[in-house]
Each structure stands twice: as C-alpha cells, then as structure tokens.
Amino acid sequence: MNIQIIPAPISGGIEAISSKSFAHRALICACLSKGKSKIKINTTSADIEATVSCLRSLGAVIEKNGTVYSVIPSDTPCETAEIDCNESGSTLRFLLPVVCALGTKTVIHGSGRLPERPLSPLKEELIRMGAEISDEFPLKVSGRISAGEFTMRGDVSSQFVTGLLMALSYLGGGKIRLLPPVESRPYIDMTVQVLKQFGADIKEENNTFYINNSPLHGCDFTVEGDWSNAAFPLCMGAEVTGLNPDSTQGDKAIIDVLKKMGAVITENLGSYKADVSSLHGCEIDASDIPDAVPVIAAIASTAEGETVIYNAQRLRLKESDRIQTVCDMLRSLGADISETDDGMVINGKKSLFGGEVNSFNDHRIAMAAAVAAVKCENPVIIRNAEAVNKSYPEFFNDYNKLGGKARVL
C-alpha cells in the first residue's frame, strides 16, 4: 500500500488504542495461569495477533468476542508445537523462555528482520539452565529449564527480562540478577505490574528480582491506552483521550519531551493535547524511550535550532536500522539530519519540501513520515505504508479523522 498525503493542519481528537506492550504481557500471563481470563483490548494489530496465534498453537483456547479475548489455558503443556512469531520481536523474546519453561518441543518461525535480531545472552542463559536451542531459524527448541538464578546484562533488551520473569513465575520461583546499567526500565516495571495482577509474588532489591512460589491465576484485565502510538497524534497537536497518567509505560515521557521542546500541554482526566506550534531543539536521552525517537525526530526537523538524540544505539536492531532509516526518510523530505553512532543530530527548518519516502517495512517510520508531512510544502508519498498494521492498523483512518489528507494510491 502506497499512501499520498497532501499537507493539511491537524485538529480534533481521538481515543488511544490499546497498549501493544500491555496486551502481549496480559495474554501470555493469562495462558500461564490457572483458570479463565478475559482480556479487553480495544484495537488489535499484527503483533498482537502473532502472540495470540502462537499461544493457540501452544494449547491455549482463545476466543475473541468484540474487544474481549477469553483465554482458557491448557491443563498440561503440549508435547510438541510449531509457532510463527511473524515479525514481532516481543512475541519471540517473551515466548522463548516461556516455551523453555513449558518443556514443549517447539519450532519457532519468524519473518522480516526478526531472524536477524539478537537473542544473546538470553539464549545462552536458557541453554545453561537446561534448554536446547538451535543456532538458525526456524529455531528448534527442546528441553526444559529449571527454576534457578539467571544473570543478564541490563542494557541489552528489557524483552529478555520480561520473558524470564514470566517463565519463572510459571515455574514457581527463581532469581534474575541484572548487571547495570539497566535500560528501558519502564518495560520491566510494566511486566512486574501485569504479573502481580495475575497473582505473582515478585520482589526486587539492587537490580535483582526474586520470584517466589505463588501460582498465577486468571483474572479480568483491561489493557490501557498506548502511549507509544499516542505519541504520533500528540506530536501533531491532536488531543488523545483514554491515556493513563500514572502508567508504567516508558513512552509516557513523550509529554516531558514535548514540554522540553517548548510545547504547552493541556491535561484533563487522561486526555492530553499539546500546542506544538512553536517548538525548539534540545538534547534528548533516548535510553528509556527508543520507540519514540522516529516521531521526535520528525517534529525536531521543523523545530527551531538543533536537536541531539543520543543513547539510541539499540534502534539499529529494530524492524529496520531506525537510526539510518529515520535519517534517510527525513532527509528525503528535505530535513537537515545526520547520523551519529548512537543517535542523530537535527537542525530544524521552518518547513520541509516534501517528496517520496519508503517505510522500510517499519511501522514507526511510516507513521513518523505522516507526522513530518504536516509541515511539508508539497505532497508526500509513503511507499509500503501497510507497515502500520504491525501496531496501529487504523493509523491513516485516524489521521484523516484529525483533518489529515491521506489517500491510498
């Protein structure tokens, strides 16, 4: 799908879609619990459906009725299974430890850049604790890990820690020691929050998580609004409702970033709106908000002065090399932007010229291009814009609801 955008002012408001990060965690926890759960998710996506499909292949019964997923876990783990994570890094990294805890002999498939995304040191720790995992995709997994002590670097991927926390909660206990520095900490906090709602007993001291023997049990869980995807309409000046002001989601920090760039924020009972008419550059540490970098770079390209984004090196291992693809995309529209080893430097202009860009099959690049198009002088064409289906299938419909002029070519 190729999308043409005619630059137009954005106004009005939309409701936040459900958090993809919370949805993954809640669905997996429900399948590791005793008893039935109901998970309310107001909007699904390709990544969420990848997790649902994998969990069904592992024996869970999951039925969708409107916005509610009814989950009945399997009484006993499957002996064998074949699952397809599609392009979802969360699905793969969360479920790999879980599969090893279940002891299910599993073949794991993945597509896009997923087979290239690193699994070390998680893979080595799982093997050390009793699993057998092949070196090449599709991954062939067998054996069963034991509850015990795992040691992980804290600056590689919070997704590894999440997968282990869920696996050890299912196994009935264990310990995870993180070697500092610990990055993307809000995502770990989110996992602990969800696990506790399903009955887990988790304590933390000095970057070490102690998982005690407390069986998970089914519950009703409503997935809160997604701050990561809300960042895109917020950065265009739209109002977004249905957001949790006390959320553990790291991308809630988009509000602080916008304030730092000079935006005036209006907040009322989970509704947020930013006046982005007069932004200025600043320095931004992206270590805890890597997913927000594409949209921050998009608005920085037309902010006054220089913006420096740093500590974003993990972006090179996402659906695309996001440091390179963000720079390529914005440069194609006329932005003054250059790569650094761990981020980018952007010299803002009053407007961008416009032109044709590629999504690089990356949902956040496609959406960031649409945000940048608002400040372009000429139309913007986004190639392979269907990438938004990964996290926000209704993005361009919502874009048009807000006054945007996007149409399929």
Distance CA(308)–CA(346), nearest Å, equals 6
| DSSP assignment string, 70-101 | EEE--SS--SEEEEE-TT-HHHHHHHHHHHHH
Closest C-alpha to 396, from 375, 376, 377, 369: 369
| Options 47, 251, 291, 362, the catalytic residue | 291
SS (HEC) of 342-373: CEEEEECCCCECCEEEECCCCHHHHHHHHHHH
Q: If residue 240 lies in a helix (H) or strand (E), which one and from where to where?
A: strand 239-241
Q: Report yes or no: 66 and 36 within 8 Å, Cβ to Cβ.
A: no
Q: Which two tokens stand for residue 70?
A: 């009814």
Is 341 assigned a catalytic role?
A: no
Q: Report yes or no: 284 and 296 within 8 Å, Cβ to Cβ.
A: yes
Distance CA(253)–CA(334), nearest Å, equals 28
| DSSP assignment string, 176-224 | EEEESP--SHHHHHHHHHHHHHTT-EEEEETTEEEEES---B--EEEPP
3-state helix, strand, coil in the chain (%, to 5): 35, 30, 35
Residues catalogued as catalytic: 291
